[in-house]
Amino acid sequence: EIVMTQSPATLSVSPGERATLSCRASQSVSSNLAWYQQKPGQAPRLLIYGASTRATGIPARFSGSGSGTEFTLTISSLQSEDFAVYYCQQYNNWPPSWTFGQGTKVEIK
């Protein structure tokens, strides 16, 4: 099983600042990596797929980068609505044994 490790577990950021979240895979997943945002009491929402492609309707302040085993989600200028938990997920293998990271909580500093 591919293990996805996110860091940090919690990120304290002031509104307007930049946030950088990391996701590391235990083996290469190519660019088959997605990022999701989950707010309390809500379902997850797709932000990024293919490691760097923004999903429909996602603001340009969200960007993804990386390939292989190292990935980054950057939120360029945090808005109040961006405080949430962020998960990465690899979908590289077939038959599927896809895995999520444990999540990074972005909280208000």
Partner 1 sequence: EVQLVQSGAEVKKPGESLKISCKGSGYSFTSYWIGWVRQMPGKGLEWMGIIYPGDSDTRYSPSFQGQVTISADKSISTAYLQWSSLKASDTAMYYCARMPLDTYYMDVWGKGTTVTVSS
φ, ψ of residue 31 to 5 degrees: the values are: -110, 20
Instruction: Centre a 10 Å sphere on the Cβ of residue 1 and count the other Cβ atoms it contains.
Output: 9
Binding mask 46-85 for partner 1 (x = CB under 8 A): x--xx----x------------------------------
By CB under 8 A, is residue 103 in contact with partner 1? yes
At its nearest, how many Å lie between partner 1 and the CB of residue 55? 6
Identify whether the C-beta of residue 23 lies closer than 8 Å to the C-beta of residue 31.
no
Choose, by CB under 8 A, the member of 14, 16, 43, 60 that binds partner 1. 43
